[in-house]
Amino acid sequence: MTVDEGLVEQVVAAAASVVASGAISANGHGNISVRVPGAEEMYYTAAPSLRGLGPEGVVRVALDGTLLEGNLPPIQGAVVAMHTAMYLDRPDVGCVLHTHSPFATAHAVAGAPIDCWIEALAMFGLADGVPVAAYGPRGSEQAVANIRKALRPGVPAVLLANHGVLIFHRTPELAILVGGVVEEAAQAAINARALGGPVEIPADLRAAALQRAMAFDAAGTKTA
């Protein structure tokens, strides 16, 4: 099978978007994958950093973990199973994103879930917040099992205890957007603790925020 240059470029562009969003650690560590439509495969970043990622830093991997094309260093290969698990478990997932974004990772290190403190969480499938998956060695069977145990239906993000954050969505654009929302909520909560602590949006109003967003989306873009 030949390399799908379009999907490779999609991964490269997604990496640049994550870096531009600022929801990433200082060293740029993280990884992104996109599902290959109609195949049990994904394209995956094999470079140590998402900063300056080029096509040479993208490899093709089967969803059973077999490397099909490219060079995959051990430290990047160690977390392949986190990505493949999301594709195997959720047929609607088209992109998986893992970073050590600073504020979300602070919550992961503290073992503290992110609650629905900002309305964007309610609008993007996280009305009940972002759960924490218990620690397991990087990319191990235990780590993947802990992720699966922590996830709830429809929730597109999970904190990885003592590690970072994992986001998964239909498209790279949505995964990057949710990653930024999670980081924003984590930062807002940490800042709010100096003012008495963050306050959750009441459950009924979280639903209202989602419904309002859906109504405006259905109405489409308006032009004058």
pLDDT digit string (tens) for 108-160?
999 999 999 999 999 888 999 999 999 999 889 999 999 999 998 889 999 99
**pLDDT on residue 220:** 82
**pLDDT on residue 174:** 96
User: Is residue 23 within 8 Å of 183, Cβ to Cβ?
Assistant: yes
User: Is residue 164 within 8 Å of 105, Cβ to Cβ?
Assistant: yes
Helix or strand (DSSP H, E) at 207:
helix 203-219
State the pLDDT confidence band at 1, using cuts at 50, 70 and 90.
very low
**pLDDT on residue 136:** 95
**pLDDT on residue 215:** 79
Q: What is the CATH architecture assignment of 5-115+129-194?
A: 3-Layer(aba) Sandwich (3.40)
Percent over 70 (pLDDT), the chain: 99
**pLDDT on residue 217:** 77
State the pLDDT confidence band at 9, using cuts at 50, 70 and 90.
very high
**pLDDT on residue 82:** 96
Average pLDDT over residues 212-218: 78
Residue spans of the domains in the chain: they are 5-115+129-194
**pLDDT on residue 209:** 80
Mean of the per-residue pLDDT values for the chain?
94
pTM of the model: 0.92
Which residue, chain included where needed, has tokens 């620690």?
135
Statement: residue 201 has pLDDT above 80: yes
Percent over 90 (pLDDT), the chain: 83
**pLDDT on residue 94:** 97
Which tokens sit at 10?
């999609």
Q: Minimum mean pLDDT among 32-36, 54-58, 130-134, 152-156: which range?
A: 152-156
Alpha-carbon span 209 to 125, nearest angstrom: 11
| DSSP string computed for 147-184 | HHHH--TT--EEEETTTEEEEEESSHHHHHHHHHHHHH
Structure confidence by residue, pLDDT tens digits, 156-185:
999 999 999 999 999 999 999 999 999 999
Q: Residue 189 CB: number of other CB atoms within 10 A?
A: 20
Average pLDDT over residues 176-195: 97
Statement: residue 69 has pLDDT above 50: yes
